[in-house]
Amino acid sequence: MIWIVKNLWLIPALPLLAAGIIAVNKQPARKLAAGLAIGSMALGFLLSLCAFAATLGQHGEGAFRETFSFNWIQFGGQWMSIGWVLDPLTAIMLVMVTFVGMLIFIFSVGYMAHDKNFMRFFNFLALFASGMLGVVIANNLLLLFVSWEIVGLTSYLLIGFWYHKASAAAAAKKAFITTRIGDLGLLLGMVWLYAQTGTLNFYTPEHTGCLEASALAGMVSKTIFGGMMVSTAIGLLIFLGAVGKSGQVPLHVWLPDAMEGPTPVSALIHAATMVAAGVFLVARVYPLMAAGAAPVEHGAPITTALTVVTWVGAITAIFAASIAVAQNDIKRILAYSTVSQLGYMMMGLGVGGVAVGMFHLITHAFFKALLFLGSGSVIHGCHEEQDVRKMGGLKKYMPITFVVYAIGMLALAGFPLFFSGFWSKDEILHHASLWSVSKIPFYLGCTGALFTAFYMTRQMGLVFFGSYRGHEKSAHGHSSHSSESHSHDPHESPAVMTVPLIILAGFAILLGVIGTPAWPWFDAYLNGELAELQIKFSNLAESAGLMGASALIVLTGITVGWMLYGKRQRKTAAEKDVLEAAQPAIFKLLENKYFIDEIYEATVIRFNAFAAWLCDFADKWVFGGAVLLVKYFTIGSSWLYRLTDENVVNGGFDAACGSIRGSGGILSKLHSGRVQTYLRIIGVALVALIIFLIWGRKA
Amino acid sequence: MLAWTIYITFFGVLVLMLLPRDNARAARIVALLTAIAGCVVALVGAIQQTNPGEVTTIVKADWIPAIGANYYLAADGISLVLVVLTGLAAVSGILFSWNIEKRTKEFFAFYLVLIGGVYGVFLSFDLLLLFVFYELTIIPKYFLIARWGSTRKEYGAMKLALYSFVGSHLVLIGLIAAWVVAKGQLGHASLDLIELSKVHFSAGFQHWVFPLVFVGFAILAGMWPFHTWAPTGHVAAPTAGSMLLAGVVMKLGAYGCLRVAMLMFPEGVREWQWAIAALAVGGIVYGAGVALVQKDFKFVIGYSSVSHMGFVLLGLATLNTIGLDGAVLQMFSHGIIAGLLFAVVGRMVYDRTHTRDFNDLETMQLGKVIPFAGVTFVIAGIASMGLPGFSGFIAELQVLMGAWQVFPKMTILAGVGILVGVAYTLRAMQKAFYSDAPPKPVDHDHPMEPITVAERFGAVMLISASLVIGLFPNLLMNWIEPCFKSPLFARLLSGGAQ
């Protein structure tokens, strides 16, 4: 076994250790906290590179895969072992998470510089990183679930980091509860999987893992109601966990609200890594999702589970993209864009297989982290302003941020040829167009791509072009504070924030290279094949048509966006949006996110509140009432007894009692009503009893 | 050696009684030393027991030969887990009652009598002895609540005492019936639990005696719909009282269900298995639902106990090893976590603010004023929600795994209960400690007393216990697991007759 497989646990353990040290450190030691967190990620990144190197150059007989397990707990008559696995999927995620994480940590040093809870922030960030890396390396659904919950918890803590803001506290609660609904599915899926296969290890050296042929065959052969295969049912339950975590419809509602957290958190957790964990989970249990299908020549096998994944992904992609068109908060636009892109990834997994979905996950992680950090730089520069209507003209004030943001935007929009997002999205659309079940996801995906290009151009136009509209709010006090007015101008962020942006921008461009149709290295790497440079005319011709089409879509979106928001700039922040002026009803629907929150408020939440109220009512009046009834019955009958006693029985008895009363006085001293006397008697009697029992019997 | 947990505790009562009345400090120290000694003996004794799968006799002597009663103390792995829990709960409860000034001596005396009784129940393998210890715990419970409690304390104390007595009388009737039948079969009177667990009671007999005994015990375990004593009792009780009620007294009930009712009447269990599971799941969902709308902080925790004890009962109802493993582990886990939650609410918050109403607490900025309490509650809340890393997760997971094999639909419902559990915990956490409500001006003349060393010790002790078991569950599973493989439980688990 290679040393790196055995020591893979170090990668999540390092940030955990850092979090622990920060937590026990009482003194304010900002440099130490940041240094430890960043250092642990840097070391983790180096180790991840070693792990990555180990998985390279393995081709011929499938992908590289080594596992390490140990016994953790004994229950139900057998040992549960947990452990980790190193395969291309793990390795690529490790490299991505540690690298992006490290950059975002560095960025946070600048972004959070003035926050008085700096230490707590890095503590939670490091803890998050540990959980996330745990999810990535886990070779066991239980360990994965454990890490998954740590990730969810830290997400809750970080969304609510500024808990004194009511909206942040509410958002944190909403995020936690909504994702827990998904987690319940995952938990039940796990319980069922264990009941079926007797193991939760994904892969074992003896090929007895729950994702390996023999276990899968067992689950495929059993069916439940409606003829559904058990493997499908379990796969769908696990997918529910992914739906919650990755913000898929209908559990997407928490993700946009999660933007209440500090921006680096949005970048790391709610864009690059955690929300992608759901996609990763589906990729990890892919053999289960694909179990029982006939082998197909290319793309993904057709199974019920994967069909559901595709549809959920496609609907989410178009749904969230359309909402993003009508949002005004810079981070919320990006949040809906994230939801939409996660939908693309799910769709990619469903129609094209692991490599397709994962490729988009990796490229998205870089350019979306870039966009979020860029938006953080914008917000920072505009003095905590998040409304795009109050920005404008920032190109002049923040040149570096402008350039990198433009790169991120073009990558996300899928601008042809030079940006990674184009290649990864094209892969998904390419496979969707070949999907044999239905062509609708393909059309949904294309429309979503159009929207994406449009809303990103809209955002660019509003934020960076035209003239700065941020002074308006303080306009009335302008004359008296004219000396301060200069400091209200937006300013470029410090180097500690811009350098990570530049690095991410580089990757947002370059990463496309590893997954072009001409050199599909990524696909080959995940499948353990050798990637060859295949510049064959037939290959190119096949993909050129679609590529041209998708390029056309993107260019249309960008052009329309530019016409409406770039060339024609809004004059004031209060002015109506052009779309709103043209189509007020549709715009309102989109602006209010299709009223999903309100629908949930009116149905699920109200039902829940009613059920809880009903239980409370029952407790107070039904069960409490029964107790009261017994009580009054007892009291009533006692009164009756007493009356009988005094009038009937006592009449004759009193006389006899007179003589006894004298002797009773002695006994009544014992009944003094004084607790300590009772206790003393109990104590002495017990000790006497014990002494009698222990020694008395021997004599 | 384990028997000394009982003797030491009662010896502590004796010493306390001999102390001068107004020396509160001495009383506290004596009580703490006694509890620590008991806890250490419990731990050492448990570790020394080489074979936790077998019932190891500690002492067995004739007591009342005419009815077959023995003074019979013994322990197997399940007893070990619960004895250790009692030790931990006893020590932490004293740490959280360090500020009791009113009749300190008597308070701790009652407290220790209760602890001694609990140790006794967990170690008794003679039915009469077990029953005596079981009853012995009711009296101090009543006085602790009625004298040192708050909020309708007489009502709470009386309700608790009456429920307990009703429960134990059901048990008594059932056991007398069983004793008579067993005497006929064995040819001699016996109250030896192990001997009785080998007697074959007829199916018709088990059909009505089992529910009698089981419900009798389960009342004390807070089984829905006989749970209403629990929230009112917990709320009325002083901090240490609610810690012990939730921590160990509810476990007495669950222990009785397993050790007496289920062991003696295996066919009865199988017949009523569905009913028990339904009531357990009812309790899980219902308790969580009620907890969600409470206005009193302590009621939230009180109802959460009902919900969590539902998992113990659900685990018992599975009748498979993994479910029973989970049930016993959940007893331990809930004992620790509920104790901690009550400590935060009762001692750290109520004793300082004199209110438990969320509307008042929201204006107090407790997260900033007493941050230690806030952090402790967050950690305890996380543990209580069943998040991994803490003991509750691994216990509830096992219960769910066991339950899935027998009643998958009910397992899903139980899962919904977990979900509501998240909701009420977060709600309480944010309302009590991290609220955004406009703060009330701070009264600078009467600043809040800072968190004391005793409280810190107690909190750290309980958190570590839950964390250690969450990370290394095998420490306890090594004791629990072999029990269910032993011949004693074979009849219950095998599924066959005989």
Whether residue A572 contacts residue A469, with contact meaning beta carbons closer than 8 Å, is answered with yes
The mean pLDDT value for B413-425 works out to 89
Enter the ipTM.
Answer: 0.84
The shortest C-alpha distance from A697 to chain B (Å) reads 9
The pLDDT confidence band at residue A420, using thresholds 50, 70 and 90, is: confident
Provide mean pLDDT across the span A316-329. Answer: 89
Q: What is the mean pLDDT of residues A661-677?
A: 59
- What's residue A657's pLDDT? 62
Place of tokens 């026990």: A24
Q: Assess whether pLDDT exceeds 50 at residue A476.
A: no
What's residue A431's pLDDT? 87
Is B41 a domain residue?
yes
What token pair was written down for A520? 């599909």
Range of lowest pLDDT (A521-530, A609-618, B133-142): A521-530
Residue B21 maps to a domain: yes
Assign B496 to helix, strand or coil. Answer: coil
pLDDT at A478: 43
pLDDT score, position B281: 94
A516 vs B98, more confident: B98
Of A112-116, A217-221, A653-657, B199-203, the poorest mean pLDDT is in: A653-657
What is the pLDDT confidence band of residue A481, given thresholds at 50, 70 and 90?
Answer: very low
- Nearest-by-Cβ selection for A195 from B17, B401, B416: B401
Q: If you average pLDDT over residues A672-692, what whole number do you get?
A: 70
Q: Which of A388, A369, A368 is nearest to A378 (CA)?
A: A388
Q: Which two tokens stand for residue A385?
A: 């302003």
Nearest to B225 among A623, A675, A679 (CB): A623
Which among B5, B15, B17, B107 is the top mutation candidate for probing chain A, defined by the most A β-carbons within 10 Å of its own β-carbon? B17
Q: Distance from CA of residue A677 to its chain's centroid?
A: 62
**What does the pLDDT read at residue A497?**
83
> What is the sign of the dihedral through the CA atoms of B47, B314, B388 and A28?
negative
pLDDT of B490 strictly over 70: yes
Residues of A with Cβ-Cβ distance to B284 under 8 angstroms: none
| Contact assignment for A679 to B113 by CB distance below 8 Å | yes
Q: What is the largest CA-CA distance in chain B?
A: 76
**Residues A407, A418 contacting (CB under 8 angstroms):** no
pLDDT of residue A654 exceeding 80, the answer is: no
Cβ distance B243 to B96 under 8 Å?
Answer: yes
Q: Do A680 and B17 touch (CB under 8 A)?
A: yes
Mean pLDDT along residues B18-28: 84
Partners of A155 in the beta sheet? none
A336 Cβ neighbours under 8 A, 6+ residues apart: A256, A320, A321, A323, A324, A327
Average pLDDT for residues B446-460, to the nearest whole number? 86
Task: Give the span between the Cα atoms of A277 and A291, in whole angstroms.
Answer: 21
Q: Give A342→chain B minimum CA distance, Å.
A: 25
Does the distance separating the beta carbons of A153 and B387 come in below 8 Å?
yes
Q: What is the mean pLDDT of chain A?
A: 82
Taking CB atoms and an 8 Å limit, are A687 and B10 in contact across chains? yes
pLDDT of residue B50: 82
More confident residue, B433 or B440: B433
Averaged pLDDT for residues A609-628? 78
Read off the pLDDT band of A59 (50, 70, 90).
Answer: low
* Per-residue pLDDT reduced to its tens digit, A29-42: 788 888 889 999 99
Cβ separation A188–B320 shorter than 8 A: no
Q: What is the mean pLDDT of residues A382-388?
A: 82
Closest residue of chain A to B425, computed from CA coordinates: A173
pLDDT in tens, B48-62: 888 888 888 888 888
**B159 domain residue, yes or no:** yes
Res. B497 pLDDT band, cuts 50 70 90: very low
> pLDDT confidence of B489, banded at 50, 70, 90?
confident
Nearest to A187 by CA among B360, B307, B399: B399
| Res. A656: pLDDT tops 70 | no
In a domain, B396, yes or no: yes
What per-residue string of b and e applies to B453-464 under the rule 16 or more CB within 10 Å gives b? ebbeebbebbbe
The least confident of A72-76, A413-417, A481-485 is A481-485
Q: Which domain holds residue B277?
A: 3-493
Asked if the C-beta of A624 comes within 8 angstroms of chain B's C-beta atoms, the answer is yes
Mean predicted confidence (pLDDT) in A216-243: 85
DSSP per-residue string spanning B445-465: SSPPPPPPHHHHHHHHHHHHH
Quick one: pLDDT at residue A130?
92
**Minimum CA–CA partner of A608 in chain B:** B289
Q: Which of A127-131, A477-481, B141-145 has the lowest mean pLDDT?
A: A477-481
Averaged over A234-260, what is the pLDDT? Answer: 90
The arithmetic mean of pLDDT across residues A168-181, rounded, is: 88
- Helix (H) or strand (E) holding A463, with range, is helix A440-464
Report the phi/psi class of residue A248: left, alpha or beta, with left for phi > 0 and alpha for psi in -120 to 50: beta
Of A544, A290, A318, A354, give the one whose Cα is nearest residue A440: A318
Mean pLDDT of chain B: 88
Instruction: Check A609 against B404: CB less than 8 A apart.
Output: no
Mean pLDDT lowest among A31-45, B140-154, B294-308: B140-154
CB atoms A194 and B477 under 8 Å = no
Q: Between A530 and B320, name the one with better pLDDT.
A: B320
Do residue B7 and residue A146 have CB atoms under 8 angstroms apart? no
φ and ψ at residue A88, rounded to 5 degrees: -55, -35
Facing residue for A687 by CB, picked from B14, B105, B231: B14
Q: Does B498 reside within a domain? A: no
The CA distance from A415 to A512, in Å, is 11
| Torsion angle of the four alpha carbons A524, A525, A528, A529, in this order, in degrees rounded to the nearest 10 | 40
Q: Is the pLDDT of residue A663 over 60?
A: no
Where is A596: in which H helix or E strand? helix A596-600
- Start-to-end CA distance of chain B, whole Å, equals 35
Q: B149 φ, ψ to 5°? A: -85, -170
SS3 B64: strand
Max Cα distance, chain A (Å): 124
Q: In angstroms, rounded to a whole number, what is the distance separating the alpha carbons of residues A49 and A63? A: 17
Minimal CA separation from A613 to chain B, in Å: 7
Tally of structural domains, chain B: 1
In this predicted model, which residue has the larger pLDDT, A660 or B218? Answer: B218
Determine the pLDDT at residue B353.
86
List, in order, residues 6 or more apart from B154 with CB less than 8 Å away: B146
Q: What pLDDT, in 10s, does the model give residues B158-171?
A: 888 888 888 888 99
pLDDT of B252 reads: 92
Span B212-269, pLDDT tens digits: 999 999 999 988 888 888 888 888 888 888 898 888 999 999 999 999 999 999 989 9
Task: Report chain B residues whose CB lies below 8 A from the CB of A608.
Answer: 292, 420, 423
Of B143, B412, B422, Cβ closest to residue A177: B422
| Residue B291 lies inside a defined structural domain of this protein | yes
- Those of residues 157-216 in A touching chain B at CB distance below 8 A are 160, 163-166, 169, 173, 176-177, 180-181, 184, 187-188, 191-192, 194-195
